[in-house]
Amino acid sequence: MSTDLKNVVIVGASTAGATLARALENKLPSTHRIVLIDAQDFAFWPISGLRAAVVPGWEDKSFKSLAGFFPASSRHVLLSKTKVVELGKGFLKVDVANSELGFSEEIAFDIAVLALGSTYAFPMRPLGTSLVDVKQPFIDAQNALKSGQDNIVIVGGGTVGIEYAGEIIAAYPKKSVTLISGSDRLLNDEWPIKLSNKLEVELTSRKVKVVYGERVEKDLLSAGRGTVVLKDGTSIDADLIVNATGTTPNTKIISSTDSGALNASGFVTVEKTLRITSTNPSSPLVTSTYFAIGDIANNTGGPTAIKAGNDAATTATNILATISSKSLSEVPAPLHGLVVPVGPSGGGSALPYVGVVGGILTGLAKGKGLMIGNFAKLYAA
């Protein structure tokens, strides 16, 4: 493979990174190639992860091998099972060389994009690093629900907690499911209270108990089972305690490179063009061309697939503009909407230009198929 090609490195092959790679692969000039790097050898679709932990067969739909992401004839390269360990000025270092593809541990680049994603408790993020073994925890979770986890407590009144409760009660309507929110409502105040109230009705009509203003001890969250005692003295002997309390951006390597590139919440600070900015003017992250997209970036949109696609589209435009020495574009705010299924046919949504809608439209938009076709298309070999 020619070493004369200039590298556009994308770190992370999840939704944001993969979408960016697809947007660029047929548009980069012949002088450049994509080097897509991921620590794993598979892609995972978080949107279907909750159902995969409940419904047999969905674990197969929720994973794709990264092998063959680019055609064999392509000049673009995928380095899977490869971890980035250092970010430098115009280069990065990885933990393993790939002599077959002509890469040492140090990879020079013209442009680098960090699409590092976020961490979340299982099943919103898989356990394991290889496609060979990563499905088994989902199968184990399915079997545990089927064979004896009858009293379930889900801690977290956001989208993940709501959707997980919905998946369990849809598959096992006789199980006892309690959803605990730390605040006095479902979701946060970014979203209309009408949507929160609709989702509460959707859950309680399916016999899910919703409890507000409660906290669960951290040791119970890590143990996965135990007795949860509420403020009123009620105790719940839970066979399964699920931590659905939030996501954390994967920015450890950025912090170790330049803590000035992170805001107080741990997200990467980016310009409106999605180039990384920093309080340290000599940082390698700003003295060479680094972009940050998706879950780790502090622009508007939250850790969603919609934001990932929005960021990827703008960054593709800006990479092409950088190569041709043109001015960069600012990322537009994604459309402000939220779709929260409660099982395949229930839930509620706040849709742009429409407002709050119920289970029928929510099921059609997301709940029935969880957009699994989009996932299959993105990672089609």
Residue 332: C-alpha distances to residues 73, 111, 311, 353 (Å):
35, 21, 9, 17
| pLDDT at residue 108 greater than cutoff 70 | yes
8 Å CB contact between 257 and 87: yes
Helix axes 159-171, 193-204, angle to 10 degrees: 20
**pLDDT tens string 39-72:** 999 999 999 999 999 999 999 999 999 999 999 9
> Is 134's pLDDT higher than 90?
yes
Task: Give the pTM.
Answer: 0.94
Question: What is the DSSP secondary-structure string of 183-205?
Answer: SSSSS-TTS-HHHHHHHHHHHHT
pLDDT at 223 over 90: no
Least confident of 206-210, 254-258, 299-303: 299-303
pLDDT band at 220 (very low <50, low <70, confident <90, very high): confident
Please write the tens of the pLDDT for every residue from 70-102.
Answer: 999 999 999 999 999 999 999 999 999 999 999
Place of tokens 């800006």: 318
> Can you tell me the mean pLDDT for 169-175?
97
Q: Structural domains in the chain?
A: 6-39+82-120+247-323 (3.50.50.60), 137-245 (3.50.50.60)
Residue 3: the pLDDT is: 65
